[in-house]
Amino acid sequence: MQQREEKQLESALDSIIQRVNDLKQSIASMIFKIENEYESITWPTFLDNYALISGQLTSLSKVLSHDKCPVLRNLTVLPLMLSPERDEQLAQMTEHRVTTFAHDLCPDYLRTKLEPMAESKMMQLETKALGLQYDNAQKQIATYQKVISHVWDIVSKAREEWETESSSRGNTQQNSSVADTHLLVAAVGMGKGLKMGPNPNGQSNPTSGGMMVTPQGRPGGPPGQGQMPPTTQAMTMNKAPSAIKTNIKSAAQMHPYGR
Amino acid sequence: MSTPGNAMDSLSAALKCNIIPNQEYLLQGSVLDQYVEVLLHRLRGLCDNVDSGPETFHDHEICFSLRIPNSGATTSMPMSVFSLRVRRAIDVTDTPFQLRYIGQQELGDKNRPTVVRSSIDMACSSSIIEFLNELGCRIDFEYIARGYMFRKGRMKITVSKIFKMGSNKQESVEPISQSYIVELSVLAPSGQDSIGEDMRIFAEQLRPLVQLEKIDYKRLSNMM
């Protein structure tokens, strides 16, 4: 029974020491960063370091409150020998922070109670808390809760807005339509849907792949526009160029024979 | 004074040195009317001319075509069609007309990020329409484009609404779709393919609002 408890204590101490060491290392690296890279350090890296430390603190407190961990409070550390001489082993263990295990240092290092100053301050606060009227306390809690809930509302509202925005942004098909792209590009590039009237020579137009022989309606366009009157008017307007066209065409055809 | 012969010489010399920006690198897409404001906002943030705000334009474009009978007797293509585009500003009266030749588009393989087509632009006077008519060109189609123009380095981005010409030329125009056409283009001398990569990166920044893509006209005419 005794042995088992000892074993448990040992393993608990091991894991505590390991976690404390981790914590110490990351605090040291953070201090190093602040001292040496204060010009180039970015806010995110600083926060990353901070998050690491707080994570390690959490895991340390988890270890301490674990079921398997013996109640450390019930254990005592008893200094058996004090000496003003320099102790090399101690210095090595503590990375040269503590060189002697003497009377002046021992109470500080083996302290289990708070420092006297901190202790008196705690006492003050506790008496103040005890002396507080119940109604007053209730009132303060209520105001505090009101402020918190207000902030909570603001944050959740902002989050809601942000989420709807990002979800609407995620929907790609909303912003543009492939059919419209094709319609517009075909119109601008090949005149699809923009040509007026049939070709004067009754030929299909090679550029448009012979699609635009009928005057009304554009393929792909919204139907039922009732644009017959414009088309007929446009046809009369196109009369003059078409006449020129046929003239020129016959002239052009004459050329090869002339040569 | 330079004689025409000299002008031809210097033109061919310029062509040889490859300094004429006659290749257009192009990506196209569209955005629905209700999201155009969002797109303009984003473009304002991405492009160079931020202080002055977007440049607006309101143009009338006419595409003329000239049919030339092929002398070589290929039965499948009895005529070769040659088209020229004339563009004039409606909102500004003192600007010259623009005459533009656009060549066949080359899609290239998948590694090529944009469509490439030869393109030659020149300014001309208003008598160009008469001149083209005299040459035997015929109006193939025409439209009104109204929208916004942005610049980003060498890149030009236009967001335009395309209107079909109504019966009464000036007044009744109707939009042909519920979207704005978005074009990203660069005019550069041939061989400068690196610009395509810049354009691809820029187009990536406009996703998913607009999908700027290489669009194959041939496939389009088969599809629709």
Q: What is the distance in angstroms between the Cα of A163 and the nearest Cα belonging to chain B?
A: 17
> Do A188 and B166 lie within an 8 Å CB cutoff?
no
- What is the rounded CA–CA span in Å between residue A220 and residue A180? 9
**Which among A205, A220, A244 has CB closest to B224?**
A220
User: Using CA atoms, how far apart are residues B181 and B221, in angstroms rounded to an integer?
Assistant: 18
Least Cα distance to B181 among A216, A179, A168, A196 occurs for: A179
Contact A194 B142 (CB under 8 A): yes
CB pairs under 8 A between A and B: 145
Q: Chain A residues with CB inside 8 Å of B174's CB? A: 225
pLDDT at A196 (0 to 100): 65
Q: Is the pLDDT of residue B48 over 50?
A: yes
Of A148-162, A195-209, B58-72, B103-117, minimum mean pLDDT range? A195-209
Residue B40 phi/psi, 5-degree rounding, is -60, -40
Whole-number average pLDDT of chain B: 83
User: Nearest CA of chain B to the CA of A153: how many Å?
Assistant: 29
C-beta neighbour count of A223 within 10 angstroms: 7
- pLDDT at res. A229: 43
- Comparison of pLDDT for B128 and B172, the residue scoring more: B128
Residue A185, min C-alpha distance to chain B (Å): 7
Beta carbons of B28 and A209 less than 8 Å apart: no
ipTM more than 0.85?
no
Rounded Cα–Cα distance for residues A8 and A5 (Å): 5
Which pLDDT value is given to residue A242?
44
Check residue B58 and give its pLDDT. 92
Which CATH architecture does the domain made up of A1-75 adopt?
Up-down Bundle (1.20)
d(C-alpha B102, C-alpha B113), whole Å: 19
pLDDT at A250: 46
**Taking Cα atoms as reference points, which of B199, B210, B203, B209 lies closest to residue B24?**
B199
Q: Which fold has domain B22-223?
A: Hypothetical Protein Pfu-838710-001 (2.40.320)
Report whether B81 contacts B65 (CB < 8 A): yes
- DSSP, residue by residue, B130-192: HHHHHHT-EEEEEEEEEEEEEEETTEEEEEEEEEEE-SSTTT-EEESSSEEEEEEEEEE-TT-
Can you give the pLDDT at residue B8? Answer: 79
Q: What is the structure's pLDDT at A171?
A: 55
Pairing of strands A83-86, A100-101: antiparallel
Q: What is the pLDDT of residue B97?
A: 92
Tell how strand B115-124 and strand B138-152 pair up: unpaired
**Range scoring the smallest mean pLDDT among A68-77, A87-96, B56-65, B85-94:** A68-77
Choice between B166 and A38, residue whose per-residue pLDDT is larger: A38
Asked if B162 and A187 come within 8 Å (Cβ–Cβ), the reply is yes
pLDDT of residue B74: 52
Question: Domain boundaries in chain A?
Answer: 1-75, 76-112, 115-162, 180-218
**C-beta of residue A176 within 8 angstroms of C-beta of residue B179:** yes
Could you tell me which chain B residue has the CA closest to the CA of A244?
B136
Query: What is the model's pLDDT at position A73?
Result: 76
Sign of the C-alpha dihedral, residues B1, B3, B4, B7? negative
Predicted pLDDT of residue B75 = 52
Distance CA A177, CA B29 (A): 9
For testing contact with chain B, the best of A167, A173, A185 (most B CBs within 10 A): A185
The nearest alpha carbon in chain A to B30 belongs to: A181
pLDDT at residue B146 in the model: 92
The whole-number mean pLDDT for each consecutive block of 10 residues of chain A, a chain of 259 residues, reads 83 90 91 87 87 92 81 80 83 82 81 84 90 87 95 94 76 70 85 63 39 39 41 43 45 45
Contact between A109 and A102 under an 8 Å Cβ cutoff? The reply is no
pLDDT at A237: 45
Of B176, B148, B180, the C-alpha closest to B30 is B180
Neighbours of B184 (CB within 10 A): 23
Higher pLDDT, A122 or B5: A122
CA atoms within 13 A on the CB side of B110: 0
d(CA A115, CA A123): 12
